[in-house]
Amino acid sequence: MTMIKIDQYFDPAGWQKFTKAAEGRETPLLVVDLSRIKTKFHEMVGFFPNAKIHYAMKASPAVEVINLLADLGSNFDCASIYELERVLDCGVDASRISYGNTIKKAEHVKYAFDKGVDLYATDSAADLKNIAEHAPGSKIFVRILVQGSETAEWPLSRKFGCHPDMAIELLIQARALGLVPYGISFHVGSQQKDVAAWDDALAKVKYMFDWMKNEEGIKLQMINLGGGFPANYISEVNPIKVYAEEINRYLTDDYNAEDMPEIILEPGRSLVGGSGVLVSDVVLISRKSNTDLTRWVYTDVGLFQGLIETLGEAIKYPVYTPKMETSTSEGTVVLAGPTCDSTDIMYEEAGYQLPEELGIGDKIYWLTTGAYTNSYSSVEFNGFPPLEVTYID
């Protein structure tokens, strides 16, 4: 894997903001530039003018991010009552919030309902019953299982969603239980590189919309297209514009303008990923034998300080060190974190290249680390404190 160029990711002024914010600060430190989230949000709204954006808070549940997106008019999807509490505390009205987790305790459904939330995801009869009991009359969307795990860098597997036949049964049951069978959702997998994954999923949804109308007289009103839109890591991805053009085309192929359902998007990674740079120091460089061709580079950040998505080397962050600008030779490295856990190796197989001149104490910058980092950071594994974050705009 060749070394990156910083100008592939930032213009000089944009990059300077990050380095300035980190100057003199202890590492590891995540620097988040809120202005980049603002730009991404406007971009998303511009490309999907008819969709409602429910920011997937799990990507970064920070108050600074919520306040920004709330001011920009975003809605929110929460995964727990704790995220719900956070977003309500930021002054967001419950009418702008969906409860997107299909796994929830009865008392948490009650809590959300008491706070005014009336839009719930489900994918099972037991959860549906819970919702009927504790959030009576609410709007239900059923999550279906879809393809896409082979082309997503962070697949969401089979944990969520159900077969469309079961989803139809749940929607029918929802009506019988006094709930509103409102729509269908899916998630094609996070960092989904194949736009056609939405095409396959929407074909299933269309079939279900028609079935429900023709066989049950139920007119579903909403499609939730989930997240999955990419951030800019190492491997090339299509711009959001291409995703939007394709998805909007799939939708207009399937529905007339007057029948177009409400469209919800739940982006997480694509909105906030590019806003973060994780600044770390090199703690140790070593080799495992006198003839070892590979250097082991240990940084003060690892899987337990926010880089958990490097598990299985799934998400490949762009890694930058200023010595790349002047380096005359580079070599393959293993990149590992600081803890005494052998899982704490970010990249062993990927073949990351770093300058031979790299030394202990040098800075390593992990780009595109604004999503799924700070919230994943452990509390005190090996005694290391949770990841420090600073916000700039």
Residues at the site binding ligand PLP, with contacts judged by CB under 6 A: 56, 58-59, 77, 100, 156, 187, 190, 226-229, 266-270
78 is catalytic: no
Q: Least CB distance from residue 317 to ligand PLP, whole Å? A: 15
Closer CB to ligand PLP, 283 or 314, in the complex: 314
Residue 253 carries which side chain, given as an amino acid letter?
Answer: D
Structure tokens at 254: 């399937």
Q: Are 174 and 181 contacting, i.e. CB atoms less than 8 angstroms apart?
A: yes
Q: Least CB distance from residue 101 to ligand PLP, whole Å? A: 7
Q: Please report, for residues 23, 39, 87, 285, 326, the alpha-carbon distance to residue 357 in angstroms, rounded to integers and kept in the order given.
A: 22, 36, 46, 11, 9
Catalytic residue among 78, 90, 162, 340: 340
Distance CA 242, CA 137 (A): 38
Q: Crossing angle of helices 240-254/34-47, nearest 10°? A: 30
Q: Please report, for residues 23, 48, 50, 141, the alpha-carbon distance to residue 260 in angstroms, rounded to integers and kept in the order given.
A: 51, 13, 10, 16
Burial class (CB in 10 A: 0-12, 13-18, 19+), 36: buried
Length of the chain: 393
Q: Least CB distance from residue 219 to ligand PLP, whole Å? A: 24
- How much helix, strand and coil, in percent to the nearest 5, is found in the chain? 40, 25, 40
Q: Least CB distance from residue 59 to ligand PLP, whole Å? A: 5
Residue 198 carries which side chain, given as an amino acid letter?
Answer: W
CA nearest 151: which of 201, 102, 185, 101?
201
Closer CB to ligand PLP, 59 or 282, in the complex: 59
Q: Least CB distance from residue 143 to ligand PLP, whole Å? A: 7
CA nearest 171: which of 205, 194, 134?
205
- Start-to-end C-alpha separation, the chain: 32
CA nearest 366: which of 309, 317, 329?
317
Q: Least CB distance from residue 288 to ligand PLP, whole Å? A: 36
Closer CB to ligand PLP, 139 or 187, in the complex: 187
Closer CB to ligand PLP, 186 or 352, in the complex: 186
Closer CB to ligand PLP, 112 or 364, in the complex: 112
Q: Please report, for residues 18, 35, 169, the alpha-carbon distance to residue 11 in angstroms, rounded to integers and kept in the order given.
A: 11, 14, 52
Residue with smallest beta-carbon separation from ligand PLP: 227
Q: Least CB distance from residue 367 to ligand PLP, whole Å? A: 17
Q: Are 87 and 57 contacting, i.e. CB atoms less than 8 angstroms apart?
A: yes
Active site residues: 340
